[in-house]
Structure 1
Amino acid sequence: MSETTIPEKMAAVVCHGPEDYRLEEVPVPVPGPGEALVRVEAVGICASDLKCYHGAAKFWGDENRPAWAETDVIPGHEFVGEIVVIDDEASARWNVGVGDRVVSEQIVPCWKCRFCLRGQYHMCAPHDLYGFKRRTPGAMASYMVYPAEALVHKVSKNIPPAHAAFAEPLSCSLHAVERAGITFDDVVVVAGCGPIGLGMIAGARAKNPAHVIALDMQPEKLALAKECGADIVIDIRNEDAEKIVKDLTDGYGADVYLEGTGHPTAVPQGLNLLRKLGTYVEYGVFGSDVTVDWSIISDDKELDVLGAHLGPYCWPAAIRMIESGVLPMDKICSHQLPLADFQKGLDLVGAGTESVKVSLIPS
């Protein structure tokens, strides 16, 4: 066992219920056999964090859907940190050691259920995600533990912590791109130029399709979309996206539509933009039910409608993309705040107009 001097107490954000998150002093967690203690360098605030904070029914649960977030848990599932305590078993399993900068995938699989045994670990039945359940406390704290079941990846120390923590949302974006099966001749439309949408744009561009089209309502984010690889951008407030896409494709429509906003209007928008036999991939997390004309999916167009969840098998590619410098990470990671300003961070994400990716820096 290798270790450095660790304090007994640390600052942490603790969830006590909807809109009741508090900065508290709590004990520093103690790693067990095969685990690692990590000093958190940065933790991003995700749209799902915000929905849990506000207590949306889809996340706090009703009789039809179990709650995502439990009380008395530390939030935060997109993060990076430095290993400060690790035993030989964990070091060998993850090929890391004290002093290494590491990220951990947002899900801690059980490795025993039917999905884990089939390699579909991102659909693990217990579904323990950092920051949503007491079994797996998150990263809005000075320290956290990576459990023995975790998936861990090393990240370069030559990039800022907030950039390294972006591996989580970027891996999600790349998984959605993989689900789409993009080919060279495709016209790809990405709805939303937030963190997920920008990652989708970058991932789609890496597949080298005919066009990558970005949709948003904010000119600044559309400009950022161009830097991430979009060759056409459409401000849906002032332009007719369906007409532009149809004119570009001889009236047929887009081949692929990637939805990354979680806004109900983006769903029918995508169904209408797609050609017959097109592919729709849904990644957005919705705070309310969405109603669409399903005959568009079946009788009208025979669409392939796919979901995407987390970022399985995409973390190494996401890390390489960030480390390569190909993305405008300083612009994507727009705000870094101290942990004590977590409420300001949540409010920035909620406003949606002043930031792209907001991160908390516990140190």
Structure 2
Amino acid sequence: MANKGCTPKTMKALVAYSKDDYRLELEYPTPECGPDDIIIKTEACGICAGDLKCSHGAAMFWGDDVQPSWVKAPFIPGHEFFGHIVEMGENVEGFELGDRIIADQIVPCGKCKFCKDGHYWMCQPHNIFGFQSTNNGGMAEYVRFPKTSVISRVPEDMAIEDALLIEPYGCSKHAVDRGSITNEDVVVISGAGTLGLGMISYARMKNPKLLIALDMVDARLEKAKEFGADLVFNPGKCDLNKEIMALTDDYGCDVYIEATGHPSSVIQGLQIVRKLGRFVEFSVFGSATTVDWSIIGDRKELDVLGAHLSPYAYPFVIENIAKGTLKTNGVVSSIFEIEEWEKAFDYATGKYGDFKVAFKF
């Protein structure tokens, strides 16, 4: 028998029925608690660039002539969320009603090759909160955490604005770790949005020889300096290749981390990274990217590394946000009620100067 809290039968939720049909439902069924499940009352949920691209109908989510649909509508969006436990199944151990928790965005199956060898974030079925009806996300008053959810505790005294950054900063940590940064490296991070700022703050802890941030928006570059970048450049206002070569005796940077999702940033990175350098890609692209692969192979023999999600990152991120080692000041800049979802999605594009936009319940 489930350990009951005060869970109503219906809730407010933003529901995606198709790429062109997102609706605010005021009486959507509250998730039911199975014997191995946890139900949380959502406290807040951030809006990710992936949520925006999904709502705009990007093919990687909804499919096209080449790839099948990955989403399973109808679903409730949102994977950057946390809350308090209000109900638990009888088989759940180690938690109490009222605990403040967060889960990795992926819900691993626990049975596939990748789950069994510890690479749970590459789970073959690849079910993620906020994109499938079986794993609804946090843009709703209540969310169900299935048995295999990877759960971490959130300190009660952590501000909402800080806790909202656990998921994106977890992704930032994984991307930086993929770059294997040392204190002898010149590191370039392209993009100073929420993910880029998390990367800059964490990369600063690696004590690289030089940490450089790039962005087309000067206000973001100012925040990048605040978060630990030694130098910042706006590629739209300078000859970036000339600047980087002047700083590296014409060799190029050792590590380039791409966090914009824009094709031009990929091409730029291949130009300024040195021979035998490391190129890390962490982005969701809205359009195809074409590069000269002879640069990667014949000319530079690069290590090209992908980065996906935030495996094993939450405990470190939570601890260092709490300590202030990972900087968060001013990143979450606008918080809306779910009734204002269209305005919130508009603000989340960054057109008004926001880094991270969220809902509060």
Distance change (3 Å), C-alpha of 1:341 and 1:330: farther
- Deviation track 1:48-102 (CA, whole Å, cap 9, x = no partner) reads 1011101012221024223232221111111111111124532x2xx32211111
CA contact (8 A) 1:59 1:69 kept: yes
Aligned-residue RMSD, C-alpha: 1.3
- Deviation track 1:8-45 (CA, whole Å, cap 9, x = no partner) reads 21100000112321100211111101111100001010
Q: How do 1:321-332 residues align onto structure 2 when only pairs under 5 Å count?
A: 321-332=320-331
Q: Which amino acid aligns with 1:218?
A: V
Q: Which amino acid aligns with 1:115?
A: F
CA contact (8 A) 1:44 1:162 kept: no
State the alpha-carbon separation in 2 of the partners of residues 173 and 59 from structure 1.
22
Q: Which amino acid aligns with 2:81?
A: F
Q: Which runs of 5+ in 2 are unaligned?
A: none
Q: How do 1:242-261 residues align onto structure 2 when only pairs under 5 Å count?
A: 242-261=241-260
Query: SS of 2:349's equivalent?
Result: helix
CA contact (8 A) 1:256 1:279 kept: yes
CA contact (8 A) 1:227 1:327 kept: no
Q: Which amino acid aligns with 2:34?
A: G
State the alpha-carbon separation in 2 of the partners of residues 314 and 18 from structure 1.
31
State the alpha-carbon separation in 2 of the partners of residues 96 and 330 from structure 1.
31
CA contact (8 A) 1:43 1:162 kept: no
Query: SS of 1:316's equivalent?
Result: helix
- Residue in 1 that maps onto 2:8: 7
Q: How do 1:1-363 residues align onto structure 2 when only pairs under 5 Å count?
A: 1-24=2-25, 25-87=27-89, 89-90=91-92, 92=93, 95-361=94-360, 363=361
CA contact (8 A) 1:52 1:68 kept: no
Q: CA deviation at 1:208?
A: 1.0
- Deviation track 1:112-145 (CA, whole Å, cap 9, x = no partner) reads 0111111111110100000111110111000011
CA contact (8 A) 2:321 2:327 kept: no
Query: SS of 1:73's equivalent?
Result: coil
Q: Which runs of 5+ in 1 are unaligned?
A: none
Q: Runs in 1 of length 4+ with deviation above 4 angstroms? A: none
CA contact (8 A) 1:14 1:72 kept: yes
Distance change (3 Å), C-alpha of 1:41 and 1:218: same
- The alignment of Structure 1 onto Structure 2 pairs a total of residues equal to 359
Query: For structure 1, which segment, 228-237 or 144-153, has the greater mean C-alpha deviation from structure 2 after superposition?
Result: 228-237
State the alpha-carbon separation in 1 of the partners of residues 83 and 244 from structure 2.
43
State the alpha-carbon separation in 2 of the partners of residues 110 and 318 from structure 1.
24
